[in-house]
Amino acid sequence: MNKIAPAEIASMLNDWYLAIKKHEVEESSRLFEEVKPLLDDMEEDQEVLAYFSLLELRHKVLLHEARGQGFQHEEPSHMNATSDMLKYYFFLFEGMYEAYKNNYDIAIGLYKDAEQYLDNIPDPIEKAEFHLKVGKLYYKLGQNIVSLNHTRQAVKTFREETDYKKKLASALITMSGNFTEMSQFEEAEAYLDEAIRITSELEDHFFEAQLLHNFGLLHAQSGKSEEAVSKLEEALRNEEYARSAYYYHSAYLLIRELFKIKKKEQALSYYQDVKEKLVAEPNRICEAKIDILYAIYAEGGHAETFHLCKQHMADLLSEKEYDSVRELSILAGERYRELELYKEAAHFFYEALQIEELIKRTEVI
């Protein structure tokens, strides 16, 4: 069973917070009963758990005030102290949820709202978490310098706090991803090497598989497709990882690299595996991406595949998968240029430029 994304739980917690603020007792109780059992199935996220604890305390106060129920921890001064933190969490997790849905402009605005309360949050770890979340968003948008500025602040804090090794490793992965996109591969690999050293101490094999995926991404971007394939296949040998949503990211990258090095049979084998998995677990984004690869590599990239590629690109755009559209447009353009289909190639190169401009216009925190 796939774990529930923290962003989805956080969105439910924000609904609960609004019900508490409005003194809607029945709605608050309903949401409490709905969300509490889901925490066991959520991907690990200490901030979301802390937010739940704060809301549970507020919920008990509400039941005490509105229904006269017993409440053993009445501490008005403590409740005042948590007011800014609740507001901070509300905007942070609204932003996190919008980022999860690829509504980037809305997410950035909400993160700005959260930042207004950051100075009133005394815990340096909370501040580091904020910068890491913002850094990951800008990394996804391809705004690498902005992402690095935020992520460096997170790395600094997590290095100073020895109990947050996994968070440090996560921040190092984001640092590496940015340097990978900037073609500074030695720096990227150094950050991943540090992350893998930390992870080996934690004995978290799922996280190790995530790191292997990132090594695969690094090797792919640096033109070492054989090494990328090796790392990605190793990641997918982890059964828990292969059952998770991360499977689709690694499988897509694996198919792409196998096609690049003309290992067509292996690429098609993985393609068929993914298509079979998609029957039981639909994933519109992954299906569009691998079908574009199939069209331009397996079917020869002839003129008839052009309209199929356009259709799949439109599907990705509707999901706001801008980085995927940019990457695949460049691949399609290069493939059609090789086949001397210059009109088709020009279309996709122009589409990549348009996406680049769209990303550049995204507001910066």
DSSP letters for 184-200: -HHHHHHHHHHHHHHHH
Q: Which amino acid is at 287?
A: E
Domains 1-122 and 283-365 share a fold: yes
Q: How far is CA 197 from CA 168, 193, 200, 219, 353, in A?
A: 11, 6, 5, 19, 39
Pick the CATH number of 1-122 from 1.10.760, 1.10.1200, 1.10.10, 1.25.40: 1.25.40
State in words which class domain 283-365 has: mainly alpha
Backbone angles phi, psi at 283, to 5 degrees: -145, 95
* pLDDT value of residue 80: 42
Taking each helix axis from N to C end, the angle separating 83-100 and 6-21, rounded to the nearest 10 degrees, works out to 140
Going from N- to C-terminal start, the domains of the chain cover 1-122, 283-365
> pLDDT by residue for the chain (365 residues), tens digit each?
578 999 999 999 999 988 887 778 889 999 999 999 999 999 888 888 888 988 887 788 678 666 666 655 444 334 344 578 778 888 888 888 888 888 999 999 999 999 999 988 888 988 998 999 999 999 998 899 999 999 999 999 999 988 888 889 999 999 999 999 999 999 999 999 999 999 888 888 888 999 999 999 999 999 999 999 999 999 999 998 998 888 999 999 999 999 999 999 999 999 999 999 999 999 999 999 999 999 999 986 677 789 999 999 999 999 999 989 999 999 999 999 998 999 999 999 999 999 988 877 776 65
- Give the span between the Cα atoms of 331 and 329, in whole angstroms: 5
Three-state DSSP class for 4? strand
| Strand ranges, E, within the chain | none
